[in-house]
Amino acid sequence: MRIAWTVLALVSIAARPAWADKKLDQAVAKAEAQLAKGKDAEAVKILQKEVARAPRDAEAPLALMTLFTRLGRRDEAAAALATAGERAASAPPAV
């Protein structure tokens, strides 16, 4: 029985990053949809909210940087890249 609980705990821990990636993928898809409608500001807000939601995740600022680059907003893209770099540097090593 103890092994079953251990396996359950490990599976739930391993699933958390996948859930976070799924939420980011959904946010990027929403932002892309807004961008296609010509609502650039709304697309930016969606990804900024995702960056704030996951304060340790480096992927969210990278998605925001990509959006800013597509919009030609280089200074903001550079700031988002810097944020991603800071988060990546402070992240624990990959297992």
**pTM (predicted TM-score):** 0.76
Cα separation, 11 vs 41, whole angstroms: 38
Q: Which pLDDT does position 7 carry in this prediction?
A: 41
Task: Give the model confidence (pLDDT) of 9-61 as tens digits.
Answer: 444 444 445 455 789 999 999 999 999 999 999 999 999 999 999 888 899 99
Enumerate residues 6+ apart whose C-beta is below 8 A from 43.
Answer: 31, 32, 34, 35, 67
Please state whether 40 falls in left (phi above 0), alpha (psi between -120 and 50) or beta: alpha
Q: How many CB atoms lie within 10 A of CB 7?
A: 10
* CA-based nearest residue to 40, from 58, 19, 95, 48: 48
CB neighbours (10 Å) of residue 65? 22
